[in-house]
Amino acid sequence: MNLDKAKKRIAKKVKMGFKGFPQLSFAYYGETADKATEVVVTFTLDEDAEPQEQRFSGENDVREDEVIQSALVKIMERTDAKSLLEVEGVALLG
């Protein structure tokens, strides 16, 4: 899947807001606020479930990485997530 298409699908799902569970969230991290080198995907099956996390990282900005963005779309599809939350900006790695 090309990068623009993946980013548009993610943005469209984020715009829909909270629609219930299962829920996914994407949070980006990096050494600087301009470059995200890691994304943490959190999956929550229902309100009382323990969240599951998966991390993807790269040397370049993962928001502009076609392989990683395509993987995020595949995760959305396979989990059948009703809600997708995306943490804005890039949090600094500690």
51's CB contacts (< 8 A; 6+ apart) are 42, 43, 44
Q: What is the pLDDT of residues 63-92, one digit of tens each?
A: 999 999 999 999 999 999 999 999 999 999
Both tokens of residue 78? 């396979």
Residue 87 is predicted with a pLDDT of 96
pTM of the predicted structure, to 2 decimals: 0.92
Q: What is the pLDDT of residues 3-12, one digit of tens each?
A: 999 999 999 9
Q: Is the per-residue pLDDT at 94 higher than 80? A: no
Q: What is the pLDDT of residues 21-64, one digit of tens each?
A: 999 999 999 999 999 999 999 999 999 999 999 999 999 999 99
Residue 1 is predicted with a pLDDT of 82
Q: By C-alpha distance, which of 59, 67, 54, 70 is closest to 8? A: 70
Instruction: Identify the H or E element spanning 32.
Output: none
* Beta strand ranges found along the chain (DSSP E): 23-30, 38-44, 52-57, 83-92
Residue-range domain boundaries for the chain: 3-92
